[in-house]
Amino acid sequence: MKPFSQFFIFLVIVLATSYIDAFTRNDFPEDFLFGAATSAYQWEGAADEDGRTPSVWDTFSHSYDTGNGDVACDGYHQYKEDVKLMADMGLEAFRFSISWTRLIPNGRGPINPKGLLFYKNLIKELRSHGIEPHVTLYHYDLPQSLEDEYGGWINRKIIEDFTAFADVCFREFGDDVKLWTTINEATIFAIASYGEGLTPPGHCSPNKFINCSTGNSSTEPYLAAHNMLLAHASASKLYRLKYKSKQRGSIGLSIFAFGLSPYTNSKDDEIATQRAKDFLFGWMLKPLVFGDYPSEMKRTLGSRLPVFSEEESEQVKGSSDFVGIIHYTTFYVTNRASASNFPIMNQGFFKDMGVYMISTGNSSLFEWEATPWGLEGVLEHLKQSYNNPPIYILENGKPMKHDSMLQDTPRVEYIQGYIGAVLNAIKNGSDTRGYFVWSMIDVYELLSGYTTSFGMYYVNFSDPGRKRSPKLSASWYSGFLNGTIDVSSQDTIQLQRKFSGSSSF
């Protein structure tokens, strides 16, 4: 690297760190969990090995030219090496998901012994290295057979099938898994998969941006979300009745949470921001905490918003022991009707929400501005409006071009800024209990395939062996976790200077 760019990065770190209050791992509660995450389709590969069958994500990725998860990081074969990397790094927890079609290839019915063995081995490996597993049951990968049979999440039949899948997972893995997330980022999953056609199974109404083979953007997101809440509640009820007293774990739902802040200090923008919060957070959190949808949504959507029966409302209310938060960036909100500077967000849910969202950063979907104050705002809002629920930040991280340098200084700055925000929130009374970097290693990305990545380990996807190399962020996180890095001191700068890009810890 040229001396000038080295000096520039050095200067950026000096400036960035001088704005952060000093903190270390020890400033967080001892039982707070610091981890990193991946998901099955994005990490495992081995897509048609040992009895696994296609999920809607296989089908979706094979219909676009952004690559696919057939091999991904080859985690299915290299899990032991990856757990070793995690342990060397000092990771306290690892969040991963279970591929439904690896475990139950037909979506319901017989268990695949090889799939079962893989997850048992992975969990055992994690435990033997003192790493806490955090398991997500559903991460965009519905069995294709269930999509074909009845349309997946838009049909109530999913509730029974999802609960039966969860039952197998609790029974088989529950002695060693204490943290369960039922559905990954359920809010944006419903929007992007059933309204925008952006993520699997890719449903949307006909529009000029994306060609979906099926869908109705004005009804399906609400229907899918309703069934997700019911499926989550049903799995949670089962866990509490059948497993909790013995296994002593917790079960939660995760939502995607943008930071939201009024564009101006006008009353109008304040009201618009509250409306955005009702739509983006309240849609799932109001039912989970209070048993029904926000009245603002009921008013706007009328008969397009499904209704909970009294019994369902009782079952959904209180069904989450914690709230999982997926957070990346912040938007300013203003009271201009139904649009955004992302054209893709101008139909379905975002149109219904009826506010204008302005990115705090570059207007590309992949250039997310680090706005730690936005996360602090989310945590404060949840504390005040939803009875201060226990929270896990299940994803936070920075996308960069996949082949950019191993010296990922912007990612280090991003992560340390957000960890600082979590600490501030805790000091202000938020019951946040864990923080997971997305992602542990470069994976097959949901929106961008192999072109951008978030990993703390670089993966060479052209190498048949999928060689891993630590980035600066891996060294930084490791130093932070083992207490050799104090965030606001000169330590980060020292680390950056010493980083050769090839070292282990």
Query: What six digits make up the tokens of 425?
Result: 């929130």
Piece in contact with ligand NOJ (CB under 6 A), picked from 65-73, 85-93, 443-451, 477-485: 443-451
Closest distance between ligand NOJ and the C-beta of residue 188, in Å?
7
Q: How far is the CB of 39 from ligand NOJ (least distance, A)?
A: 5
- Rank residues 42 and 112 by Cβ distance to ligand NOJ and give the closer one: 42
Q: What track of x and - describes contact with ligand NOJ for positions 300 through 329 (by CB under 6 A)?
A: --------------------------x---
H or E stretch covering 468: strand 468-470
Q: Tell me whether residue 220 or residue 395 sits nearer to ligand NOJ (CB atom).
A: 395
Phi, psi of 332 (to 5 degrees): -85, 145
Please report whether residue 185 would count as binding ligand NOJ according to CB under 6 A.
yes
Query: 64: exposed, middle or buried (C-beta count within 10 Å: 0-12, 13-18, 19+)?
Result: exposed
Residue 395 as a binder of ligand NOJ (CB under 6 A): the answer is: yes
Cα 72 to chain centroid distance, Å, stands at: 18
Instruction: Indicate which single residue of 39, 53, 145, 475 sits in contact with ligand NOJ (rule: CB under 6 A).
Output: 39
Examine residue 303 and say whether the peptide bond preceding it is cis (omega within 30 degrees of 0): no
Question: Token pair of 297, please?
Answer: 């949504």
**Shortest Å distance, C-beta 502 to ligand NOJ:** 27
Nearer to ligand NOJ by Cβ, of 39 and 234: the residue is: 39
Which of 172/369 has CB closer to ligand NOJ? 369
269 binding ligand NOJ? (CB under 6 A):
no
C-alpha 375: how far from chain center: 14
**Least separation in angstroms between CB 181 and ligand NOJ:** 10
Task: Please identify which of the residues 44, 296, 395, 445 carries the catalytic annotation.
Answer: 395
Judged by CB under 6 A, which stretch of 109-117, 159-167, 440-448, 466-474 contacts ligand NOJ? Answer: 440-448
Residue 184 binds ligand NOJ, judged by CB under 6 A? yes
Catalytic: 311?
Answer: no
Catalytic residue among 44, 92, 125, 185: 185
Q: Find the shortest distance in angstroms from Cβ 438 to ligand NOJ.
A: 5
Cβ closest to ligand NOJ, residue 350 vs residue 450: 450
- For residues 399 to 438, the per-residue mask of contacts with ligand NOJ, x marking binding by CB under 6 A and - elsewhere, is ---------------------------------------x
Number of residues counted as binding ligand NOJ (CB under 6 A):
10
Residue nearest to ligand NOJ (CB): 446
CA pair distance 443, 451, nearest whole angstrom: 10
Paired tokens of 45: 């590969």
Quick one: which of 86, 224, 80 has its CA closest to 142? 224
Residue 446 near ligand NOJ by CB under 6 A: yes
Rounded distance, CA 190 to CA 151, Å?
A: 14
Residues in the chain: 505
Peptide bond before 439: cis, by omega within 30 degrees of 0? yes
| Cα–Cα distance, 440 to 495 (Å, whole number) | 19
| Residue 92 annotated to the active site | no
CA pair distance 399, 261, nearest whole angstrom: 22
Cβ(289)–Cβ(261) below 8 Å:
no
Closest of 251, 323, 235 to residue 282, by C-alpha: 323
Among residues 74 and 185, whose Cβ is nearest to ligand NOJ?
Answer: 185
Binding of residue 44 to ligand NOJ (CB under 6 A)? no
- Name the one range near ligand NOJ by CB under 6 A: 244-252, 295-303, 378-386, 441-449: 441-449
Nearest to 344 by CA among 185, 173, 222, 205: 205
- Cα 264 → chain centroid: 30
Please report whether residue 461 would count as binding ligand NOJ according to CB under 6 A: no
CB of 395 to ligand NOJ, least distance (A): 5
Burial class of residue 416, CB neighbours in 10 A (0-12, 13-18, 19+): buried
Q: For 27, which DSSP code? A: G
To ligand NOJ, the closest distance from the beta carbon of 464 in angstroms equals 23
Asked if the bond preceding 201 is cis, omega within 30° of 0, the reply is: yes
Residues forming the site for ligand NOJ (CB under 6 A)? 39, 42, 184-185, 326, 395, 438, 445-447
Positions marked active-site: 185, 395
